[in-house]
Structure 1
């Protein structure tokens, strides 16, 4: 039955649709979904709306006025699961009488995903597009997010069924139903609370949930959670984009951070619990200035003394302090050899320091995990969790007095640099860039947002930095504040010196560390088959490269008669977006994670690096050369890896036609392949020799330790940035620390 409601004034003339009527707009779909109690029908309707939105240009609404009363006060729910007030929810111990821990955790996650479906649909249909100046892009973005949440719910429910359960089998909290209702009057508050608090908290806790699943032996559930956490970075990114839009609409663009924090404190008056995943939030375009001052700490009774470290850690720190040569490596995440080329390089730098007699201690705000266990067990590296907004790092510096403090990327320098300068002034402060982040971001913006041909971004002097000005200023400030900065690419060194006035004397090249190559053990032309690409799917240049190769290069390669298969390797490639790239008919195969990149690449006749944006030097190319595999790369991939007097270990091509042609000829021509094979080995040996590069790094570090006083006197830009007017990151951190101390001591 169709109930018709005629509304005058600002309300749209709307029919409340029965289940037999096909919705004719986004608004109608939202109304149907929010009134539907069946979670599986909500998912199906969301997918149906997405398809029609893309294929039919479905309107946002029909008629002349917006019908926001189509959003109910609370979304409909069925009889299962039983919804309880938070205080009446069974404890984990009680729930374990009904289900295993993985099932309990997955059921809670499914409930969160279902709540997110409703929250985003409510966001789509509740707020007047005219009042808030919402373009169609707003609906594009949040319909995509709602679709992600629907798919995530489906993924978790499917996993529950594989484990013999289903969504609804356990009780769930009714608190999630209130999230949309609490912010129903204000779209800015809705965006602040749902994507920028709730979703961002998911980024903070995601790695812990994945680790717990793995520790219980449930690798399949861990994969599901890992995919969800990774994809939800884009939800936070979307929230940042539209919160800034709303701040502009409401004339708050000049103090948008303060505006965000005002809204958050309305709903979370005690602040937000830490620790925060700084790197994940940064990747989602959410800088620390948005949330650091909101961090809350658990208040403890007066007189209770909190121990910062356990006995084992205290003994470990004491042993480190007793050493003669000490280095603290500080990062937003722990060094991880298996994650990326940057992780391998960080682990190699640790090894270089240890071989020269240094004891190494790693510090991060991230929780200790299996990676830290491996660092401690396999490399003898001590690891301490230290929130930058507490006095843990300060006490560590005072207790150990290191000679060196190395910051793994500029975010770590922002967090820990001021404490190193204040509490360990004699320590040499070294920034390890890995690559220049703002160059990569500027190129990505030019290619993905402005539609430029990537060849137009190769000239660093002409590259438009304005779209990424904020991150550029932050990264350059970190460089100028540091005593020494390690870079990997001569292209980036030249650009930093010529365009951004970084003194050359404050820079040192520190690229990869490969052992000597035994050429007699390398596979020959005839021992190898097929073509490989390798790279983490957490890294946006790799994602773009694979999609560009499949869409634009592979058809040309097949038309030219190329018959080799292309195999794609990389961690975090199990998501639906990437799995669908698998195309056996085209000979394009998604192979997943490669535990040993060198062993994998050594079996292939050719590797490819079809990168359209990026920075630094490419581990995938150096890894290929190390095992004698020639590489076809774009100029972006090859940047910083060409050596005077040495031939490139493969070939460079910048259009789909030439790239495909070079793949074909280099794969089939044994004589040409052999020349490229030898050139790659020679380049790797000449540029990335571990012994030579290790000696060079240590010579520069030790020389700079001797000369640091003179260098600091000459570094006027650094002295300016250390002056009180420019020490924003320090004062924000000190404010948070003081506020937290006040809470813990009962001060209001």
Structure 2
């Protein structure tokens, strides 16, 4: 049986983060290709970590900066190794290459970290992004990781275009794989059965926290026009500074972790997501479509999420526009139902699993069979594997030697 090893920065938490849900989708894709899957991580499992054992995934803890990993990966002898974020490739990629040189190496970016970082810098300096913002240390590390791998998964068409057109990365090294939608029988409550606004996002993710601050600024104007409405803000790992924003009188309610996104989204009438910056695809907006929940977001929020199809609600240009559209969508049955149908159409035409599964399987099979030819064409990747450019390898070895004493 073919064998996939995933090296995770954390144990997946699908009920806490969109990244956790995506990882389970990737695992399922490979399992349907008859791969046995082993998940390795140096992180500690938490209360909300997915039960991977119940999904027929073998799990093992590994160490950082330790030769014990070399023996571990050699014994596992995988056909494919997938790194969850570029930091894992930096830490373990060279060890995989030395011990399993024939294994296909795949990087899952989750989103392009350097893009999110560039936008964060511009946002916090209250200015437009300029090209120089991209060229950070994160950019250099992430691109080096992309070149060292045989294939990199990108979740966003915008990121694909940025990588190929702006930074001239060979398209053969990249693969577009968004969130995947499976048709599931869902009972979708109608307009009259729903009430209140909702927002959701892991509070440890800085763009989510900035979104909450945006909501705090906008909410009073919305509440003034809809005095019976409340805004319920959910998210894992709620911080003390977030709890201080809770205000019963204003109807601005910090709810903390959602036990069930399905229940929360099925009860709410409109999702508010004034996302000021970020990268990749927004899991909250994807899930909102699945549960028939219209949304109002920004251009960054909706980026690469709907192709040229009408949005699942409204895309706002400024604060005044956001407030007006929030009130309108919440109040008008026809606009709300149209938005909901738009969301269902986006799911079918942009994210349907069947649009990607067979092509992805064929891509992986072709790479496994032609790995030598593929690597010979990726000459920059070979250059980056040269010992003179492997600072992370020798830093790891130094830490390993230091830890012996």
Q: Same fold (TM over 0.5)?
A: yes
Q: Is the 8 A contact 1:560 1:661 kept in 2?
A: no
Aligned to 1:637, which of 278, 281, 301? 301
How many Å apart are 1:698 and its aligned residue?
2.2
Q: SS at the partner of 1:382?
A: strand
How many Å apart are 1:564 and its aligned residue?
2.1
How many Å apart are 1:370 and its aligned residue?
5.2
* Partner Cα separation in structure 1 for residue 240 and residue 341 of structure 2: 39
Q: SS at the partner of 2:356?
A: helix
Q: Which has the higher helix share?
A: 1
Q: Is the 8 A contact 2:233 2:255 kept in 1?
A: yes
Of 578-587 and 526-535, more deviation after overlay is shown by: 578-587
Aligned to 1:426, which of 90, 102, 105? 102
Q: SS at the partner of 1:585?
A: coil
Please report the RMSD computed on the Cα atoms of aligned residues, expressed in angstroms. 1.8
Match of 2:126 in 1: 451
Q: Is the 8 A contact 2:306 2:350 kept in 1?
A: no
Aligned residues: 405
Q: Is the 8 A contact 2:82 2:107 kept in 1?
A: yes
* Partner Cα separation in structure 2 for residue 334 and residue 576 of structure 1: 24
Q: SS at the partner of 2:296?
A: strand
Q: Is the 8 A contact 1:368 1:385 kept in 2?
A: no
1:465 to 2:133 alignment: yes
How many Å apart are 1:332 and its aligned residue?
2.1
TM-score w.r.t. the length of structure 2 is: 0.95
Match of 2:276 in 1: 612
Q: SS at the partner of 1:344?
A: helix
Aligned to 1:351, which of 24, 28, 34? 28
Q: Is the 8 A contact 1:649 1:676 kept in 2?
A: yes
- 1:320-335 equivalences in 2 (<5 Å): 324-335=1-12
Match of 2:222 in 1: 557
Match of 2:201 in 1: 535
Distance 1:601 1:368, change over 3 A: closer
Match of 2:60 in 1: 384
* Partner Cα separation in structure 2 for residue 592 and residue 371 of structure 1: 14
Deviations 1:114-142 (A, max 9, x none): xxxxxxxxxxxxxxxxxxxxxxxxxxxxx
* Partner Cα separation in structure 1 for residue 45 and residue 213 of structure 2: 35
Distance 1:579 1:371, change over 3 A: closer
Aligned to 1:512, which of 176, 179, 197? 179
Aligned to 1:398, which of 66, 74, 79? 74
Match of 1:594 in 2: 258
Q: Is the 8 A contact 1:611 1:636 kept in 2?
A: yes
Higher RCO (C-alpha 8 Å, min separation 6): 2
How many Å apart are 1:613 and its aligned residue?
0.8
1:545 to 2:220 alignment: no
Match of 1:526 in 2: 192
How many Å apart are 1:734 and its aligned residue?
2.4
Deviations 1:636-688 (A, max 9, x none): 100110223x2111110031100010111111111111111001011122222
Q: SS at the partner of 1:584?
A: coil
Gaps of 5+ in 2: none
How many Å apart are 1:389 and its aligned residue?
1.4
How many Å apart are 1:411 and its aligned residue?
0.5
How many Å apart are 1:514 and its aligned residue?
2.6
1:499 to 2:166 alignment: yes
1:412 to 2:79 alignment: no
How many Å apart are 1:471 and its aligned residue?
1.1
Deviations 1:552-573 (A, max 9, x none): x123323445642111111122
- 1:23-102 equivalences in 2 (<5 Å): none
* Partner Cα separation in structure 2 for residue 699 and residue 345 of structure 1: 20
Deviations 1:384-440 (A, max 9, x none): 222231122211222122110000000000011111111111110000000001111
TM-score w.r.t. the length of structure 1 is: 0.52
Distance 1:729 1:630, change over 3 A: same
* Partner Cα separation in structure 2 for residue 576 and residue 339 of structure 1: 18
Q: Is the 8 A contact 2:12 2:50 kept in 1?
A: no
